[in-house]
Homo-oligomer: A and B are copies of this chain.
């Protein structure tokens, strides 16, 4: 059976369903970005010194007003994308044409859905990334706070999970914080890659009209336009892969933190305790308080890694120019961003509520944990280290239990338990937060100017 499609006439219904896929649902998340990108496009069209003009100033204002109306309708849950729309772009064009008549049929001049979806995704990702970077730094700062509160709480340092050398809760928590700090650098690298505007590329080959791509880039708060129009279209998928790679790094940091907490909150250790309302239960075992959140963070790390693999797999071996395969990079990007952000947020809640148990931590120390320190002490006295090592190894049973607190107090070099550099770490994290705040403000201000209303509030403006 075939179905009437606004764009291409008769189309087989099964084919339509297969090609549209989950887009009607997914694309709703892109509605705001699509309206914003369209507002910039028509503003630019209206600015061109052509005769006849492609769009007049008052026409531009009517279109932007209608777009704000669609945005508000979207927030009120009143916009749906139908299968015959295929995607958000045709839905918005349909809504505009319904409101504005022939004027609505002009907005697609000099662009294609190829550059349109590219700009939508970059706007969406830009908005998501500054929020994510802010929340990653907030989680890291909670870890620094935890480290500061437990800076001199001894904790057995392990390698291969076996007891190794004296360590501390402060060392453990601030290691996780520094890990996340480094992740923000990669997220910022992805942010910068994403911060270039593809609009005006049309189908990847430009248009025979004197459009102003620098203007649209500026209107949308991008750092600059992508230069080459073919690259503007082809970079779709590549940017997604870069963003997802940075998300994977963040999820790996969370996954290690989760794994440590799962293990060290087992009753056999009891180092950490997760409050009951952050745990879930069992349908058959009445006593259970399970760290489901942590297990899901761990598992979702694998899911996000697979989203990255999906995008790379889709891109691998694709020929140049737009190919429909690129549609399949959209869901992984949106899911990856959503999952990572939710995981960071839930871990922040959990770290904020985490309790350490000093008694249990101290109980974990056995004499052999001090073996390496003993060998190093012998080396400090002049014995070649390898001989000292062999000597201690041969006399393990003679190792006396030492004081864990003294042991960690003696490690005073940079980054060791007694010299964690928490203030500096905090300072760096504040810088990251500042970056995220500025990025958010700059973007929202640009959108606000473009739409003539406060953004993201959507208040004010002549139409409201």
Select the stretch in A13-21, A61-69, A72-80, A433-441 that faces chain B: A13-21
Q: Does A354 contact B (CB under 8 A)?
A: no
Which residues of A, 77-132, contact B by the 8 Å Cβ criterion? Answer: 86, 89-90, 93, 97, 102-103, 105-114
Of the listed residues A14, A158, A167, A324, the one surrounded by the most CB atoms of chain B closer than 10 A to its CB is: A324
Residue of A52, A105, A113 ringed by the most chain B CB atoms within 10 A: A105
Q: Are B349 and A328 in contact (CB under 8 A)?
A: no
Contacts A229-B415, A306-B313, A316-B316 hold; do A160 and B291 have CB atoms under 8 A apart? yes
Asked if A351 lies at the interface with its beta carbon under 8 angstroms from chain B, I say: no
Q: A234-B256, A242-B245, A286-B390 are in contact. List 10 more A-B contacts (CB 8 A).
A: A106-B384, A112-B283, A165-B203, A182-B238, A210-B413, A241-B252, A242-B249, A287-B368, A305-B313, A312-B313
Select one of B172, B284, B287, B350 contacting A108, CB under 8 A.
Answer: B284
| Stretch with Cβ within 8 A of B (4 or more), from A32-40, A418-426, A448-456 | A418-426
User: Smallest CB–CB gap between A169 and chain B, Å?
Assistant: 11
Contact of A159 among B213, B290, B384, B425 (CB under 8 A): B290
Q: Is A150 an interface residue (CB 8 A)?
A: no
Q: Does A54 contact B (CB under 8 A)?
A: yes
Across the interface, A179 reaches (CB within 8 A) one of B108, B214, B238, B385, namely B238
A41 to chain B, nearest CB (A): 12
Which chain A residues numbered 240 to 290 have a C-beta less than 8 Å away from chain B?
241-242, 245-246, 248-249, 252-253, 255-256, 259-260, 262-263, 266-269, 276-290
A231 interfacial contact with B, CB 8 Å:
yes
Copies in the complex: 4
A415 to B204, CA, bound (A): 10
Q: Does A298 contact B (CB under 8 A)?
A: yes
The 30 listed contacts between A and B (C-beta, < 8 Å) are A7-B281, A8-B280, A18-B296, A19-B292, A19-B293, A93-B386, A107-B385, A160-B324, A162-B266, A162-B291, A164-B205, A172-B230, A178-B226, A185-B189, A185-B192, A202-B372, A203-B372, A206-B416, A208-B373, A209-B380, A238-B249, A238-B253, A255-B316, A260-B320, A286-B372, A298-B317, A299-B314, A299-B325, A305-B313, A305-B316
Once the chains bind, are B241 and A206 in contact (CB under 8 Å)? no
A359 at the B interface (CB under 8 A)? no
A382-441: which have CB < 8 Å to B? 382, 384-387, 389-390, 392-393, 396, 399, 407, 410-417, 420-421, 424-425
